Structures are given as C-alpha cells and as structure tokens.
Amino acid sequence: MSESIVEVKVREGKSVAGGIELYVNSFGNPGKAFYDDMLKKSVNIQHNFTILCLDWFKALANTKYFDKRNEASVEYARSISEVIKYGQPVMRKASSRGVEDVFLFDYRSDESAAELLEWYLRTTENNEAFVKELLRAHRTNQQSFSRLCCEWFKVLSNISARRKHYVVLARKAVKSYKKFPLV
C-alpha cells in the first residue's frame, strides 16, 4: 500500500474528517480536479456537500477558539451567518448502494477526496461528528478546509442552475469571500 493511502470508515464522520484533514494538510489547496469531480456527482451529493460546508461554517461562526491561523475563516463564517441561519435546507437522501464500510483513501489525490466525500455523504444523515472532529483539527487545516468550501461555493456560483437551492445559497455565501491568507 502506498504511503499516502489510509483506510477511512466512511460511515463515521470522525474518520472521514480525519481523512479530509490529511488531504487539506498535504495540499493546502485542492486542485481543479477535485471541483470537477464534485460537479460530476449527483445533484443530491452536490447539495449535501454544500450543506456540509454550511454546517462547518455554522460551527466555526460559534467557536471561541481560534487564532491567526484560522481567524480569516472564522470572520468569514460570522459574516455569512444570515445565509447559514435562514437559508439552510436539510440533507437529501442519497443511495448508499455499493458503498462499502471502508474506503482506501489516497489523501494526495483530488479525485480520491471527492470520492471519499461522496461515499460519506451517501451514508450520513447529519454532519455533526465530522464537524466536531474538524473543530479539533490544527487551525491551519481548519483554514484549508474553509478555503476548500469557499472555492466550492465559487464553482457553484458559476453554474447555470437557478432553481437549485444549494446553488443559490452558494452564490449568497461567496459574495463575502475574499481569499484566505496562507499561514
């Protein structure tokens, strides 16, 4: 097995957050392939990934524990609190058919990260465990995950899907986004 491949339990938010933390730590910024792959996923997965990002920012907006390494993402989360508070739909049911319990995750691969998130989003009903684990992560990794989410919002804001609620939310959220500094 390659040094960058780890086993992730896809039905456990804590395990998936740990895998995604490795991913954002190894790259800093996901490549275009990550976003291209997410756009190829079903509408329900795209919706649920957007909800995961909004859940992350909701938790981040309420955190008392931050420093210079993730201060920009906390400030951003607080600036979009109205989008988070009033506009957030619930997660959609996605088929978990074909999803195994363990995913061999290559944390240096954009495509593998998108697939891991798809498997997780097909099997979870809420993001509480994922978000709690990410709040325990290194502040720089929190900032990197926030950047991943904001770049996702930016990608969504450029597609022509007017009636998809998650796209509308992404467009509202991205208005406040200014690239976070690398620390």
**What is the identity of the amino acid at 178?**
K
Residue 62 lies in a domain: yes
Residue 11 lies in a domain: yes
Residue 71 lies in a domain: yes
| Whole-angstrom Cα Rg for the chain | 15
Higher pLDDT pick, 101 / 161: 101
pLDDT in tens, 97-145: 878 899 999 999 999 999 999 999 999 989 999 999 999 999 999 999 9
Give residue 106's domain range: 5-174
Report the share of the chain in percent with pLDDT over 70: 93
Residue 180 lies in a domain: no
Residue 178 pLDDT greater than 90, yes or no: no
| Number of domains the chain contains | 1
Residue 181 lies in a domain: no
Mean pLDDT score, 76-100: 79
Q: Are strands 5-9 and 102-106 parallel, antiparallel or unpaired?
A: antiparallel
Residue 91 pLDDT greater than 90, yes or no: no
